[in-house]
Structures are given as structure tokens and as C-alpha cells.
Amino acid sequence: MLFDTHAHLNADQFEEDVADVIRRAQVEGVSNIVVVGFDEKTIKGALRLAEEYDFIYAAVGWHPVDAIDMKDEHIAWLEELASHPKVVALGEMGLDYYWDKSPKDIQKEVFRRQIQLAKKVKLPIIIHNRDAHEDIVKILKEENASEVGGIMHCFAGSYEIAKQCIDMNFYISFGGPVTFKNAKRPKEVVKNLPLDRLLIETDCPYLAPHPYRGKRNEPSYVKLVAETIAEIKEMTYEEVVEITNQNAKKLFAIK
Ligand code: NI
């Protein structure tokens, strides 16, 4: 009953063997996967997989790194896709101050437009945040994103930031990095986080958990994230799996 809330099975790295990867995930007990699209190609890939597999859903959005490439017609397209029965969220969207392909002001504008769209179509949002904690929180507040809520994906911030996001109706999702030996901060955040706000993900093919660090990640490894969280929270693995599964289903409105 594992729920991988953020996977890029639509990435080139899975082109050769996506069916095997999905089968392996099922064998390991992964019952739901949200495949996230963030540009034209990956959005189409996410929809293809969601249409092919019952237990795969799609999120569609525009990545901040590529904000500079987003045109008005893309926003119209996202609005159209929002009514697709397998589209459960908008995103990933957000701010990325690590890469400098798109200027900050354009990233902010594209982020705001997608939040506004999410409120219009009433879908939760998936947030990508790299080195931009303060501006993310500021924009979520100013745009009243709490109306739709969503996920802080692969969260790497402090507990204070996490708390501000929870107060705005967001869930906090953890992936491979929480399993790394030197991951002091994410472990500390997990420890303090209320259970009803916790989610798990892989962000595959990136950020594979220990002991696969540096290798290609895949949804079956989300089990390792759940195991680490169970250790930190001093709960059973089954409890973590059950609670994170329920949280994800509630957020994405999946029966
Ligand atoms: Ni991602």
C-alpha cells in the first residue's frame, strides 16, 4: 500500500524498461504512483502512463527552471488538462534559485499564474523549491494557496519553514535524501512533523535512497524512505505506510 507521490517515470532514463520498473514497484507493494510532468514532453509522458495504468495518476505543471519557455498557450493547455480524470494535481511548479536559466522575476510570475490556475480548477499544487524558501512561502501566502493546498516536494528546509507550509494547508513530502547518513536536518523535521501532514516519494530517477545513492532511483525504493521514517518516528513500517497512503489519497481525492 505504498504511495509514491512524486515519480518521473516519464523521464528518458526509463524509456527502455518502464514496464519492468512498474512491475517491480507493484511487487514491493507500491499501490499508487503520481507521475509528474513539468514541460511539454514530460506532461505528455505522464498522461500516457496514467491512461495506461489504473494505479498511476498524473500531475501537470511547468518547472521554474524552464519558466522562460512558458507561453500563454501552455497555461491554456494546463487548464484543459485539469479536467482529465487522471490528473490529480498541478505541478511541479515553484522557484529554483540554483539554476539560472530563467530569471527570478519570470519564475515568480509563472509560479503565480499556476497557483491562480489551480484555484480556478480546484486542484492541489506540487511545489519545487530549491534555495528559495522565503520567496516560496511569501508567494504561497500572497496568492492564498491554502485554498487548494498541496505538497512541498522533496522537502529540504527547516522545521520552521515546514510549519509555515503546514499552516497553509500543505503536506511535507520526503524522498531519498532523508535516508542519507548525513541528513541531519530532514531527519529532525520528520521527527517533529505531525503524522497527518507527512508524505513519501522517490522523485525518481533522481535522488535514490541509501544504499542506492547515486544510482537510478525507481518507485520500488520508496519502501526505503518509509522504513527510515518509521525508525525516526519510532513507529512500525506498516503504520507509516498506512498513514502516508491515507494522507496522499485524501490530498489527491483518490478513492
Ligand atoms: Ni520532480
Full-model pTM: 0.97
DSSP 88: E
pLDDT, position 150: 98
pLDDT, position 54: 97
Taking a 5 Å cut-off on Cβ, the residues next to ion ligand 1 are 203
pLDDT, position 51: 98
Indicate the average pLDDT of the chain. Answer: 97
**How far does residue 37's CA lie from ligand 1's centre (Å)?**
8
- Average of per-residue pLDDT across 222-247: 98
Residue-wise pLDDT for 182-218, tens only, equals 999 999 999 999 999 999 999 999 999 999 999 999 9
**How far does residue 36's CA lie from ligand 1's centre (Å)?**
7
**How far does residue 248's CA lie from ligand 1's centre (Å)?**
16
Place 71 in a pLDDT band, splitting at 50, 70 and 90.
very high
**How far does residue 233's CA lie from ligand 1's centre (Å)?**
25
**How far does residue 203's CA lie from ligand 1's centre (Å)?**
5
**How far does residue 92's CA lie from ligand 1's centre (Å)?**
7
Alpha helices in the chain (DSSP H): 18-27, 40-52, 72-81, 104-121, 133-142, 159-167, 184-192, 222-233, 237-252
Residue-wise pLDDT for 92-140, tens only, equals 999 999 998 999 999 999 999 999 999 999 999 999 999 999 999 999 9
**How far does residue 216's CA lie from ligand 1's centre (Å)?**
14
Q: Is the N-terminal amide bond of 92 cis, ω within 30° of 0?
A: yes
pLDDT, position 155: 95
Q: Is the N-terminal amide bond of 211 cis, ω within 30° of 0?
A: yes
Angle formed by the axes of helices 159-167 and 133-142, nearest 10°: 10
pLDDT, position 189: 97
Place 62 in a pLDDT band, splitting at 50, 70 and 90.
very high
**How far does residue 204's CA lie from ligand 1's centre (Å)?**
8
**How far does residue 8's CA lie from ligand 1's centre (Å)?**
7
**How far does residue 154's CA lie from ligand 1's centre (Å)?**
8
Place 161 in a pLDDT band, splitting at 50, 70 and 90.
very high
Domain covering 2-252, topology: TIM Barrel (3.20.20)
Q: How far apart are CA 220 and CA 100, in angstroms?
A: 33
**How far does residue 207's CA lie from ligand 1's centre (Å)?**
10
CB-count exposure of residue 85 (10 Å: 0-12, 13-18, 19+): exposed
- Average of per-residue pLDDT across 30-39: 98
pLDDT, position 31: 97
DSSP string, 162-184: HHHHHHTTEEEEE-GGGGSTT-H
C-alpha cell at 124: 492541489
